Amino acid sequence: MTTHVCILGIDGSGKSTVAGLLPELISGRTGVRAAVAGDAFRVVDPDQTLLAPGFSPSGCPVTARLANGFKGIAKRMTNHRLLYSVFKILQLACQDAAARRIERRYKPDVVISDGT
């Protein structure tokens, strides 16, 4: 059974930084497979990286690419409250779907996400 951990906080508090560093730390310290779904999508074993930027032998979910695309659009729409909300919700939904797909495909013991 996979444990899902979500890092929460206000904008600029370091959620993405912490979430990005935790998989290697958890995997290295406990010897389990850990994944992150946020700014980046990675799966880490104690001795190897199974899914990394530019290297994904079993493939990166399409929803991960969509989440990154919607995130970029949402950032450009910060001055438009309605459009920002729509694209931010789409980004978070795709990020969650990618985390679930990574869970099914790679079977990590822990999945860390930021903000979902």
Task: Return the closest-CA partner of residue 111 out of 28, 19, 31, 25.
Answer: 19
Residue-level pLDDT at 1:
83
The residues near 114 (Cβ < 8 Å, ≥ 6 apart) are 6, 7, 15, 16, 18, 19, 38, 39
Number of folded domains that form the chain: 1
Question: Is residue 39 within 8 Å of residue 29, measured between CB atoms?
Answer: no
User: Is a pLDDT exceeding 90 seen at residue 41?
Assistant: no
Task: Kindly indicate the confidence band of residue 11, based on its pLDDT and cuts at 50, 70 and 90.
Answer: confident
Domain region containing 67? 3-114
- pLDDT by residue (tens digit) across 42-83? 888 888 766 666 555 566 788 888 998 999 999 999 999 999
pTM of the complete model: 0.81
pLDDT average, residue stretch 30-41: 88
Question: Is residue 26 within 8 Å of residue 34, measured between CB atoms?
Answer: yes
Residue-level pLDDT at 54:
59
Residue-level pLDDT at 64:
87
Residue-level pLDDT at 51:
64
Question: Is residue 21 within 8 Å of residue 48, measured between CB atoms?
Answer: no
Residue scoring higher pLDDT (3 or 116): 3
Strand partners, 114: 7
Residue-level pLDDT at 73:
95
Residues found in the chain: 116
